[in-house]
Amino acid sequence: MTKKETVYVVSDSVGETAELLVKAVATQFFGQEVDIKHFSFVKSSQDINNVITAAKYNHSIIAYTIVLEELKLELDQRAHAENVIAVDLMQPLLDAFTKKFDRQPHRQPGQMRKLDEDYFKRVEAIEFAVKYDDGQEVWGLKNADIVLVGVSRTSKTPLSMYLANKQYKVANIPLIPEVPPPAELFNVPRKKCIGLMISPDKLYEIRKERLKSLGLTNSANYASLERIFDEMTSAENIMKRIGCPVIDVSNKAIEETADIILSIIQKRESLL
């Protein structure tokens, strides 16, 4: 059995970036993956000494992504003194960015992991919005950051998805006169609830176009002004009972309404 070559991956963070690059390069030389030894969260001279000693003893090389300048210089100097090959995987690109964009790097470890965490929070929020869309799974309302309530066609779903992309977990509840709102809604702190209203004329036009797209006639009760006024009155009473702020979405783009919602939420949070 052929012995695997060893490469020491060193980082002042986790080291995923260095590991991926080492694996990609290794495929150009070996029929099998190299044996990668991790030295993560390197912070001190002792950490540097440990990895230099290990690499020298095993006649190996070091691939590193260290952005803290003092540690990087120390690793370079120690590796040179001990005749150990140490390759800085980030510096060439850092130099190129500095030259091209005339800016200096922050030199803060763990920034890639922060981006990964933001990505997964966004995915989690989107999954939440889908799961709790249109009154589904109401038991999860207590876990929402924002709960939107309103009659049909007040942009609850697109608003939920837009806010989810900003990492907010949003649930939305349709308000229908014949269907009492779930009891769970009244247990949600009112600071999380936002009511959405729209002018009857605007809603009439939206619903009429909706019926047309479905191939239905305008005579359907769904698009009648009488029905719309009944829904508006019922929804207004429920919003008053909840005690939530109400936004008129009649002539607002999704982005504009979302900005108002976030302003309300953030203002409330700042008062806590």
Q: Return binding residues.
A: 150-157
How many residues make up the chain in this entry?
Answer: 272
Cα–Cα distance list, 113 to 13, 71, 94, 116, 199 (Å): 8, 20, 18, 5, 46
* Binding-site entries for ADP: 150-157
Q: Are 231 and 239 in contact (CB under 8 A)?
A: no
Positive or negative, the CA dihedral 261, 156, 158, 224 is negative
Calpha distance 90→187 (Å, rounded) = 51
Positive or negative, the CA dihedral 142, 145, 149, 154 is negative
Q: Tell me the two tokens of residue 36.
A: 């990668």
Specify the 3-state DSSP secondary structure of 268.
Answer: helix
What DSSP string runs through 119-159? HHHHHHHHHHHHHTGGG-SGGGGGG-SEEEEESTTSSHHHH
Q: Tell me the two tokens of residue 233.
A: 């009155």
Q: Tell me the two tokens of residue 5.
A: 């070559």
Strand 86-88's sheet: what is its strand order?
35-39, 6-11, 61-65, 86-88
Calpha distance 170→18 (Å, rounded) = 37
